[in-house]
Structure 1
Amino acid sequence: MNLGTSLQFGIRYLAVLTSASLLWEFAHMPFYTLWQTGTAGHIAFAAIHCTIGDALIGMAALALAVVFAGGAHWPHKRRVRVAVVMILLGLIYTVFSEWLNVELRQSWAYRDIMPTVPPIGTGLTPLLQWIVIPLVAYRYSLGAVRTNVRNRPKASVES
């Protein structure tokens, strides 16, 4: 694993993941009761707070996927395997977190317009968030890998 390539990948991934998550948090806020009951300040705080959590969850999911599925040659090899594990980890955490915070702690609540996935009852928009955004960020970040491969000096052969 090339540390420079991995670092570039991680920076790109975090930048896209965080900015897209912030947009998503505001976009799907109307599906939560906070949209109707909270002030603009509460809504903004919730979106920023959740975006920071999204960044931490997303980076942890990527790191765990690389460790357990990537091997020494990632990101040059096993890209799909890492992406699948990363998405699965994000989805597992999302199902757990939504259950914990909606059902158990009642930290937030869905409005009746939130589509939920039976039988787990998890909101559709949080699940889609953890499929779409990490995949877009991952795909974009692979550009760091392709750029490094193209810019690598060619080995010279001495006779």
Structure 2
Amino acid sequence: MAPDWPAALRVYLGVIAVGNLVWEAAHLPLYTLWNTGTAQEKLFAIVHCTGGDVLIALTCLALALITVGHRDWPLRAFRAVAAVTVVLGVGYTIFSEWLNIVVRQSWAYSELMPVVPIIDTGVTPLLQWLVVPLVALWLARRTVQRNLVVTASMNR
């Protein structure tokens, strides 16, 4: 019986959307916008960044599935897909934070944001791209595993 990868994808995207929405709202006080922006600007930033996060996460997963995935994902090649997905997400985050803080100066960290010195990237954006995708991938795999058990027990 083949795994239900569309169910895994739905869970992944749902967790990515909700997880990043919560994360974006929670770490907004670590950006200067928290002190300088209006309520509308803050809300727009949260929604805009969450939408971008969903697109980035979907792209990272798609590239991982193309490069190291297996047709029986997420039951097979799960670790490889998870590793590539997270590495791409973290890599993009480092680039994006540098581009938008240093080059474009589109946003700035407040003095509250802990920063990784060598790469001058905020700790919370890095943690976001470690925690949220890993939780989403784990729940996606768990959902498929549970669905297979339920289906197998119904076919007895």
- TM-score computed with the length of structure 1 as normaliser: 0.91
Encode CA deviations 1:94-153: one digit per residue, 9 max, x unaligned: 001000000000000001111111211011100000000001111111123213322148
Encode CA deviations 1:60-110: one digit per residue, 9 max, x unaligned: 111111111112332221111111111000000000100000000000000
Q: Secondary structure at the match of 2:118?
A: coil
Return 5+ residue gaps in structure 1 as ranges: none
Equivalent residues in 2 for 1:116-127 (5 A)? Answer: 116-127=115-126
- Structure 2: distance between partners of 1:73 and 1:48: 33
Q: Secondary structure at the match of 2:136?
A: helix
**What is aligned with 2:76?**
77
**What is aligned with 1:45?**
44
Q: Provide runs of 4+ in structure 1 moved above 3 Å.
A: 152-156
CA contact (8 A) 2:27 2:124 kept: yes
Identity of counterpart residues, as a percentage? 47
Encode CA deviations 1:6-43: one digit per residue, 9 max, x unaligned: 11111111111101100100100000000000011110
Equivalent residues in 2 for 1:54-73 (5 A)? Answer: 54-73=53-72
**What is aligned with 1:107?**
106
- Structure 2: distance between partners of 1:38 and 1:26: 14
- Structure 2: distance between partners of 1:41 and 1:48: 11
CA RMSD of superposed structures (Å): 1.9
| Residue 90 of structure 2 is aligned to residue 91 of structure 1 | yes
AA at the equivalent of 2:63: L
Q: Which moved more, 1:128-137 or 1:71-80?
A: 71-80
**What is aligned with 1:25?**
24
- TM-score computed with the length of structure 2 as normaliser: 0.93
Return 5+ residue gaps in structure 2 as ranges: none
Count of matched residue pairs? 155
CA contact (8 A) 2:75 2:141 kept: no
**What is aligned with 1:10?**
9
- Structure 2: distance between partners of 1:73 and 1:11: 16
